[in-house]
Amino acid sequence: MLQRTMKLGFCAEAEYRWMRHDEGVTAASAQPKNLYDNNLALFEELFGRYDGAVLPYVQELLVNDIAWKMNSRIALSTHVGGAAYDEALARMGRLLERVDTRLIMTHPTLKRDFRLFVLGLKKAVPLV
């Protein structure tokens, strides 16, 4: 992320390595119950800074965050159920309503099935 240009870029050759183990702080904090509400609150605050259109850079941050969490199977608020789960998804949907559909459709690591799910949240209708 380049804050000066407000653009997000991807590099095909990049490689990120980290040590993972079940007892580590990363594993404990990368659980939906620890991520979902805090991250959504962060994005709600970021998006809330804009009365009209949200900067593409900020939209891309959200789509990228969703993509890596979907790919890691930690994106959804699985620690709650019923109406609380529906509201958790609705919160994400309200953010996605302000994201350009093109960004969702062209994100390089958001898998096709996940794109349909994300577009369904954006439109508040199931597409799968």
pLDDT at 56 over 90: yes
Q: What is the pTM of this model?
A: 0.73
Average pLDDT on 78-89 reads 82
Predicted local distance difference test score (pLDDT) of residue 31: 54
Query: What mean pLDDT value characterizes the chain?
Result: 81
Tell me what pLDDT residue 25 has. Answer: 47
pLDDT digits (tens, 9 = 90+) for 12-30: 776 666 555 555 545 555 5
Place 32 in a pLDDT band, splitting at 50, 70 and 90: low
Q: Where are the alpha helices (DSSP H) in 11-111?
A: 25-29, 32-48, 56-71, 82-96, 101-106
